[in-house]
Chain A
Amino acid sequence: MADSSEIDNALVAKLGGDATLLALMPNGVYIEEAPPGMTRFVIVSLVTAIDEPIFGGDGFEDGLYLVDPRALSTSGGDVKAAAARIKTLLHLQPLTVAGYTSMIVHKDGRPGGRVEVDQVDASIRWNKRPAYYRVQMAPV
């Protein structure tokens, strides 16, 4: 039985299992939020998800994810290189998810904003290079 959350987990596992990306973002890859105290990490968030129905079953799932490498401005993290590595790992690459066949994963634009003021301490800046990735998976 296809479980949509496994798609989220597969994205995190694929990014978090890449040594090159981890060298750039050593705190790891997380869904929605990173633990306190982290300074260089990647956040994966589901923006929208649509289940495309067909008669008598499920056609495919179409999810738009925000994949956002973030680094504290004083940490020396290279978010540009991290964003490039993320694109290499995801754009037009297969994604293995139990219960699904991968249809396509591709970069689908990016939101504005490369610097963010910390919500707790306004003197702190976060560098980031977010991009949207569309993930389409067909249940098997």
Chain B
Amino acid sequence: MTPTPEAPVAAPAADLDPAIVADATVEVDAVSVWFGPKVALSELTCSFGAGVSGLLGPNGAGKTTLMRAITGLVGVNEGGIRVHGRDPRRDRAVHGRMALVPEDEAVPAGLTARQFVRYVADLHGVTDRGAPDGALRTVELLDVADRRVDTFSKGMRQRTKIAASLVTDPDILVLDEPLNGADPVQRAHLIALFKHLGGSGKTVIVSSHVLNEVERMSERVVVLVHGRLAAAGGHRAIRDAMDDTPRHVLIRSDRGRQLASALIGLDSVTGVTFDPKRDGLVVQTLQARALAVALPRLAKDASVRLLEVRPLDDSLESLFRELVR
């Protein structure tokens, strides 16, 4: 297997469980965490490596607990977490190589952006004097670096925290809703930033509810539901693994009814619906490939012009819906 030169993404080896990654930097091994009667994580096993991984799940699924456990802020009741082979809760050295950007908005009052980032840099013993400004430039806050953080909008505060996490040049970046409050232009830039960081070999774990952005940023996702691992891997691959659920394909053409009656004749088709809102047919099938092969021939024979063919459950959104149902 030739690795692509520009993106040293840790790829799952063919015989490995998709939840596990070869050359993992973060290993979560049968971890359970509970707070009194509430079980936050239940026998969770997964790992993360270089590249961007999405961490998904409904509210309360345990994502925040996992992120805090990985960065050593919370202890595990059972099982173990290893970051670069060490216990993040006890080993201070490995702490310096990780950064967590939590979702809450707490920022120290009275500091400017530059002061805050410099403070974090000093706290971690960063010797490079240009690092704070460099980090602020990366998140495009350099021109407002001397304004107080408590005057910032939500999106700007989030970016300040990201800059503070970058200034220590961590190997492992764990981010909780980092795009929160950012406007569309900033979002696009941040997505590009995370992809770049992942591409340069860092382990980036991003938790977000905006699934289409997670799709753009990350190569693989880990989905938690009720503290348990619900799914892991590339989202298309996950979808393929759910082969007991029917797929839906939207087909727009110039003569829908003609095409519909032809499609009904196929064994692979289990249902055809007219969707006026999308101006086409929604075809249900359990054999996506067989349908895909038969479709062009059918259309050609019936002289129906195909305008659009689109799998409707290809997205992370539809996958999520299925998993959480």
Q: Are these two chains actual partners, yes or no?
A: no
